[in-house]
């Protein structure tokens, strides 16, 4: 009996994922996954694993009600599909992601910053 318990705890330890924080989504409800920057995808026996090579904005579009979920992930974070679970694994403390929220990779946002910064201040009345 003791031998059986040791085997069960070994199996559980092999299936564990350790992360600072994360999100688990029902993959059966997912329609598409949009990743804004570089990543690597590896097939696994029960799905696939994506490792981000840079900070990126990830958008999950759902089948029902045109809903979507957006999240910022950082370099070395992992998106894993394991059967019916889609797991977003964040490898940094939660506080590190709060500073990423204001960062936008949109060309429009960058264009507005450059426009306001490059306007001449001479001769302007406020």
Q: What is the mean pLDDT of residues 94-106?
A: 63
pLDDT digits (tens, 9 = 90+) for 21-40: 788 888 888 999 999 999 99
> CA 100, CA 75: separation in Å to the nearest integer?
12
Alpha helices in the chain (DSSP H): 2-14, 94-98, 107-118
Structure pTM? Answer: 0.64
β-strand pairing of 78-82 with 47-52: antiparallel
- Mean pLDDT score, 77-81: 94
Helix (H, G, I), strand (E, B) or coil at 10: helix
Q: Give the tens place of pLDDT for each residue, 81-94.
A: 999 999 999 988 87
The larger pLDDT score, comparing residue 52 to residue 18, is at 52
Q: Which of 76, 88, 83, 84 is nearest to 33 (CA)?
A: 88
Other C-beta atoms lying within 10 Å of the C-beta of residue 14: 7
Q: What's the pLDDT at 101? A: 56
Q: What is the pLDDT of residue 40?
A: 96
């Amino acid at each position: 009996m003791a031998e059986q318990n040791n085997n069960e705890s070994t199996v559980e330890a092999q299936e564990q994922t350790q992360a600072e924080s994360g999100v688990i989504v029902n993959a059966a409800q997912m329609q598409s996954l949009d990743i804004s920057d570089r990543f690597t995808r590896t097939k696994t026996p029960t799905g696939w694993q994506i490792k981000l090579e840079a900070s990126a904005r990830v958008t999950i579009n759902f089948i029902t009600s045109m809903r979507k979920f957006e999240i910022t992930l950082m370099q070395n974070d992992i998106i894993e599909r394991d059967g019916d679970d889609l797991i977003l694994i964040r490898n940094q403390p939660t506080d590190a992601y709060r500073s990423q929220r204001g960062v936008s990779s949109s060309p429009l946002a960058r264009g507005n910053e450059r426009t306001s910064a490059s306007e001449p201040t001479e001769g302007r009345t406020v």
